[in-house]
């Protein structure tokens, strides 16, 4: 039995639930959102505040957790990063009041910077040899400059609209963060096996999302050129068509280059191109 912590409510909740459900794990909605037991997989889900997850994982209270990299770095707990999950994306940035000029990181010297992320900020300042006056606050960081509490802030930026609304502008991006699957570095073999099975499913889903299945027809003399455009998992499948001198070619193509590849295939003489989504993909 593996115990995994996810955020009880907030920005990571929906995507964490979807990740587990897409991995074929069935569990009910816990009425009080404390814990849920999966009915078809040796997994127990514990719902926590995101800030508590690194500590619980380090202490072995839970075996694994889904939590933002920003929180993992700030809490300075010893956890193993098992996978980067691709959701909960945000950045941690330093922002100044619109009127304050900024040329380089040196301009941060002696400024008062308000933040809830003092450890991540301290690492950045130390790495750049900056002496600043860090004010730890527990919330509403973006108000600090207009209240006269600080000259700058260091905080999470999603779209940047909150900064704008508070008369601030971003000057340094310190961290690009996303949700991580983290685990206790010292799992028993049995728990590690469950985690490996979970990871296998998560990765099969991600690979499927990142690829498309592609089928096309081509004259035989064009096949080798077309096959070079579609490396596929090993190499494309080629099947003869009933029409003499023609073949059908099956492969996979990466989602992010898919339109470019389609244009090249067409130019190389491919016809009747079909593109279909993939449900699961194991490399
Ligand atoms: P909790 O009650 O669990 O302490 P919280 O208020 O600290 O919740 P949320 O605002 O739900 O946290 O954010 C959770 C995580 O979502 C953040 O730590 C960060 O990793 C990620 N995230 C992604 N986009 C954003 C964003 N635009 N603003 C804030 N966090 C974001
Ligand atoms: Zn939190």
Say if ligand 1 is within 6 A of residue 158 CB. Answer: yes
Residue nearest to atom 31 of ligand 1 (CA): 90
Say if ligand 1 is within 6 A of residue 156 CB. Answer: yes
Say if ligand 1 is within 6 A of residue 90 CB. Answer: yes
Question: What domains lie within the chain, and their CATH numbers?
Answer: 2-87+178-207 (3.40.190.10), 90-176 (3.40.190.10), 211-276 (3.30.70.120)
Euclidean distance between CA atoms 20 and 230, whole angstroms: 32
Distance 7 CA to ligand 1 centre (A): 9
Euclidean distance between CA atoms 139 and 144, whole angstroms: 10
Distance 20 CA to ligand 1 centre (A): 19
Distance 116 CA to ligand 2 centre (A): 10
Other CB atoms within a 10 A radius of the CB of residue 157 amount to 18
Distances, alpha carbon 200 to alpha carbons 21, 73, 122, 126, 176, in Å: 14, 25, 36, 39, 25
Q: Quick one: which ligand is closest to 13's CA?
A: 1
List the structure tokens of 139. 């919330």
Question: Could you tell which of 53, 68, 75, 180 is best to mutate to test the pocket of ligand 1, judged by most ligand atoms within 8 Å of the CB?
Answer: 68
List the structure tokens of 238. 């080629």
pLDDT by residue for the chain (283 residues), tens only, comes to 999 999 999 999 999 999 999 999 999 987 778 999 999 999 999 999 999 999 999 999 999 999 999 999 999 999 999 999 999 999 999 999 998 899 999 999 999 999 999 999 999 999 999 999 999 999 899 999 999 999 999 999 988 899 999 999 999 999 999 999 999 999 999 999 999 999 999 999 999 999 999 999 999 999 999 999 987 778 889 999 999 999 999 999 999 999 999 999 999 999 999 999 999 999 8
Distances, alpha carbon 61 to alpha carbons 46, 48, 51, 156, 245, in Å: 10, 12, 14, 28, 65
Stated pTM of the model: 0.92
Euclidean distance between CA atoms 110 and 130, whole angstroms: 8
Distances, alpha carbon 83 to alpha carbons 149, 202, 206, 223, in Å: 38, 9, 11, 38
């Amino acid at each position: 039995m593996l115990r995994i912590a996810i955020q009880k409510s907030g920005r990571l909740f929906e995507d964490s639930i979807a990740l587990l459900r897409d991995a074929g794990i069935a569990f009910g909605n816990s009425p009080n959102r404390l814990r849920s037991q999966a009915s078809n997989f040796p997994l127990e889900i514990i719902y926590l505040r995101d800030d508590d997850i690194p500590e619980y994982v380090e202490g072995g209270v839970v075996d694994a957790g889904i939590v933002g990299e920003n929180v993992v770095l700030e809490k300075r707990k010893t956890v193993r990063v098992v996978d980067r999950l691709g959701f909960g994306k945000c950045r941690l940035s330093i922002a100044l009041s619109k009127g304050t000029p900024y040329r380089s990181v040196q301009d941060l010297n002696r400024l008062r910077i308000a933040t809830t992320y003092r450890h991540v900020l301290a690492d950045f300042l130390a790495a750049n040899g900056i002496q600043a006056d860090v004010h730890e606050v527990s919330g509403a960081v973006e108000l600090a400059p207009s209240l006269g509490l600080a000259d700058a802030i260091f905080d999470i930026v999603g779209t940047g609209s909150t900064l704008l609304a508070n008369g601030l502008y971003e000057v340094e991006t310190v961290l690009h963060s996303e949700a991580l699957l983290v685990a206790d570095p010292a799992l028993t073999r049995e728990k590690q096996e469950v985690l490996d099975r979970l990871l296998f499913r998560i990765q099969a889903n991600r690979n499927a999302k990142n690829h498309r299945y592609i089928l096309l027809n081509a004259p035989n003399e064009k096949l080798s050129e077309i096959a070079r455009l579609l490396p596929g998992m090993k190499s494309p499948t080629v099947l003869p068509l009933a029409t003499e001198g023609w073949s059908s070619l099956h492969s996979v193509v990466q989602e992010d280059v898919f339109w470019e590849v389609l244009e090249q295939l067409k130019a190389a003489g491919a016809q009747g191109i079909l593109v279909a989504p993939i449900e699961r993909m194991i490399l």
